[in-house]
Amino acid sequence: MKKILFTLVTVLFLSASGYAQDYNTAIGVRGGLFNGITLKHYIGSASAVEGIVTTRWSGFNITGLYELHTMDVFDVNRLNFYYGLGGHIGIWDANNVPWDADGYTVIGNDGILGLEYNFQEIPFNISVDWKPALNLVGYSSFWADGGAVSIRYLIN
């Protein structure tokens, strides 16, 4: 299973092609089971880095992602598909997590798959994504509940 996942991710990264993006930097809010803020910045014509700070269980999680974007998917102008990989660190109060713990810190890897639409009339975009996480340190487990909707203000 790990070999199949690695092969799939490698093929997806190698198949990304460059297009001009609609903005350089965007900042906004992220809503899902983990709520917080998001900052995305393009570092190339089809690649971006995204930082996400979220809260849950009386604690917080910081995530950094490297993303590749494919523009105008489904022949829809300003609709982007993106995917990427990154990592996270989270710290929670042990009294508020749904498992037994004496204090809580996790470190792990993240993936992301999403669709993003950039409005032409106003400087905002909206995105929906799925961001699974694999905790490697601390509560070692796979979290599949990282989906969210984000609304960002576009800064050019």
Domain ranges within the chain, ordered by starting residue: 17-155
**Residue length, the chain?**
156
Residue of 122, 127, 132, 41 lying closest to 85 (CA atoms): 132
Contact predicate 12/37, CB 8 Å = no
Q: What is the pLDDT of residue 10?
A: 45
6-15, 39-48, 138-147: lowest mean pLDDT where?
6-15
Q: What is the pLDDT of residue 96?
A: 61
The token pair at 112 is 């992301």
- Parallel, antiparallel, or unpaired for β 133-137 and 47-56? unpaired
CATH of domain 17-155: 2.40.160.20
Single-letter code of the amino acid located at 25? T
What is the pTM assigned to this prediction?
0.81
The token pair at 46 is 């089809």
d(CA 98, CA 21): 41
